[in-house]
């Protein structure tokens, strides 16, 4: 099978995975937000900051190294497997040791048991990670996605059942643990292909992987801290109940790009760009195509959410969350801008620029922290939300200068042009939709707004962004 056909097949399966994940997330929020208290989501948001940060260290960055380098022999694979697992165990122990200090820092005693419960997720995930990475490296996404769907279904059932048993915030913990455990079990059964890790351990043979992974860890660590800096700073000054109205819409808009839309393209884009990393013109072409595609899908989704933020909050979360509508609108625009930079991650790891990515995110983190602190002190959560939006707009330009151009020599005009057309088309569709939907109220407004927006954006995209339609046709209706 050709690289193009493998890429399209992988894209179809990742589309299914992302769509299903989005449905599960929306269902989880819609159901649990009506059962759990806002404080439960606030506590989980605090725990999520720590969990996400520690998760970056759990595999020593070896997953990215496996993607970048040619497939190693079995001896090295076994060594990398055990390094990953031992690292997960160490992260679990450190996580447990920090549970008490973090609960004191946040002044939330209940956070201690939540963090302790989540600590086991690191070694559990490590046991199946290498099998998943190697399957994706070979663009064999079908069994990987099937495993993800099954694990999410059962995790959702367990979480709802736990909520009905009045377990409160621990129903959210159950979802995380169940999804990780089931996915790992399925990885051993369906992705290992009978090739199990041996007891071989040769650290000297995998030093290049470890060196690459260390920079990957640094990059991911500082990037994660940067992305969670506003939550951390706000959590120090505010109570969970107040933070929840800010964090829940923020996290949901973030997940649209990072967990729903972009993985469909970038998850496939990384192994594809890795295969053409020594061909500059092909690499540049693929990156610009990925940027154009992700923008064409992300921009209208985020714009629609911003237009109907009040109705979205009422529909998904209920009346008790109406104060979150303002933050949903701001973070929809924030997510739109942030989605521009996501394909760059696949690019820099495909060409092996882990060190530059490490340095970039360290500098951005250092600049972000004082911005968040000053915003909360001077204007509370409202000013913090606006600051995050304007800062993200600046990063779109800075990322081209220091990351994208050094990686593939894409000129600024071509870079901007790739996102300019989707942005203008989204703006036109938004203005027309806003004018028409003003004639209606409530859910009727959302219904007609969705129809007008979809039809308008589709028509003008067909005229001015036609190549995206042909690509989607090949994905949905594959040629025999």
Closest alpha carbon to 178 in 127, 121, 241, 249: 121
d(CA 27, CA 19): 12
Closest alpha carbon to 57 in 229, 227, 270, 224: 224
- CA dihedral for 453, 454, 455, 458, sign (positive or negative): positive
Asked whether 215 and 355 are in contact (CB, 8 A), the reply is: yes
**Chain mean position to CA 33:** 21
What is the structure's pLDDT at 3?
62
Helix 38-55, helix 207-237: angle, nearest 10: 150
What is the structure's pLDDT at 333?
94
Number of H helices, E strands in the chain: 20, 0
What is the structure's pLDDT at 331?
93
Q: What is the pLDDT of residues 239-277, one digit of tens each?
A: 777 788 898 888 878 777 666 566 666 667 777 788 777
Task: Name the average pLDDT for the chain.
Answer: 85
Distances (CA, A) of 38 to 78, 235, 246, 320: 45, 14, 11, 9
What is the structure's pLDDT at 275?
75
Distances (CA, A) of 277 to 53, 64, 303, 341: 29, 15, 34, 19
Asked whether 249 and 302 are in contact (CB, 8 A), the reply is: no
Which parts of the chain have pLDDT scores under 70? Answer: 1-4, 7-8, 194, 257-267, 469-480
Burial of 52 (0-12, 13-18, 19+ CB in 10 A): middle
What is the structure's pLDDT at 454?
92
Domain boundaries, the chain: 3-476
What is the structure's pLDDT at 391?
95
Distances (CA, A) of 171 to 35, 157, 161, 183, 431: 10, 10, 8, 18, 41
d(CA 225, CA 231): 10
Helix (H) or strand (E) holding 168: none
Asked whether 168 and 36 are in contact (CB, 8 A), the reply is: yes
With a threshold of 0.85, does the pTM exceed it? no
- CA dihedral for 423, 424, 427, 429, sign (positive or negative): negative
Cα-Cα end-to-end distance for the chain: 11
Q: What is the pLDDT of residues 293-314, one digit of tens each?
A: 888 888 999 999 999 998 888 8
Distances (CA, A) of 206 to 127, 210, 414: 19, 6, 39
d(CA 382, CA 234): 11
């Amino acid at each position: 099978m050709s690289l193009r056909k493998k890429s399209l097949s992988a894209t179809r399966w990742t589309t299914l995975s992302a769509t299903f994940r989005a449905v599960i997330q929306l269902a989880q929020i819609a159901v649990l937000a009506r059962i759990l208290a806002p404080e439960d989501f606030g506590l989980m948001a605090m725990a999520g900051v720590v969990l996400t940060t520690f998760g970056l260290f759990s595999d020593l960055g070896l997953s990215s190294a496996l993607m970048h380098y040619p497939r190693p022999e079995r001896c090295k694979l076994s060594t990398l497997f055990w390094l990953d697992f031992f690292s997960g165990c160490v992260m679990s122990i450190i996580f447990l040791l920090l549970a008490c200090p973090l609960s004191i820092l946040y002044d939330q005693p209940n956070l201690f048991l939540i963090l302790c419960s989540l600590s086991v997720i690191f070694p559990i995930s490590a046991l199946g990670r290498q099998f998943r990475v190697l399957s994706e490296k070979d663009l064999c996404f079908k069994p990987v996605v099937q495993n993800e769907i099954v694990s999410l279904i059962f995790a959702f059932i367990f979480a709802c059942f736990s909520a009905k048993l009045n377990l409160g915030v621990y129903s959210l913990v159950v979802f995380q643990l169940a999804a990780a455990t089931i996915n790992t079990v399925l990885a051993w059964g369906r992705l290992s292909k009978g090739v199990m890790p041996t007891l071989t351990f040769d650290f000297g043979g995998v030093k290049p992987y470890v060196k690459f992974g260390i920079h990957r860890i640094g990059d991911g660590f500082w990037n994660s801290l940067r992305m969670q800096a506003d939550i951390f700073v706000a959590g120090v000054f505010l109570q969970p109940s107040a933070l929840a109205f800010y964090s829940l819409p923020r996290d949901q808009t973030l997940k649209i790009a990072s967990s729903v839309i972009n993985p469909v393209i970038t998850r496939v884009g990384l192994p594809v760009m890795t295969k053409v990393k020594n061909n500059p013109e092909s690499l540049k072409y693929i990156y610009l195509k990925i940027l154009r595609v992700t923008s064409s899908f992300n921009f209208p989704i985020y714009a629609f959410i911003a237009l109907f933020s009040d109705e979205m909050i009422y529909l998904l979360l209920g009346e008790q969350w109406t104060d979150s509508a303002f933050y949903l609108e701001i973070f929809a625009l924030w997510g739109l801008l942030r989605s521009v930079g996501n394909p760059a991650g696949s690019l820099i790891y495909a060409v092996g620029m882990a060190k530059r990515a490490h340095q970039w995110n360290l500098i951005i983190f250092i600049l972000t922290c004082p911005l968040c602190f000053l915003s909360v002190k001077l204007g509370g959560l409202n000013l913090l939300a606006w600051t995050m939006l304007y800062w993200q707009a600046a990063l779109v330009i800075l990322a081209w200068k220091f990351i994208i151009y050094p990686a593939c020599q894409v000129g600024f005009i071509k870079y901007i042009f790739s996102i300019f057309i989707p942005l203008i088309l989204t703006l036109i569709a938004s203005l027309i939709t806003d004018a028409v939907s003003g004639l209606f109220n409530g859910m009727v407004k959302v219904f007609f707004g969705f129809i007008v927006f979809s039809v308008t954006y589709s028509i003008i995209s067909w005229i001015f962004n036609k190549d995206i339609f042909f690509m989607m046709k090949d994905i949905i209706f594959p040629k025999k």
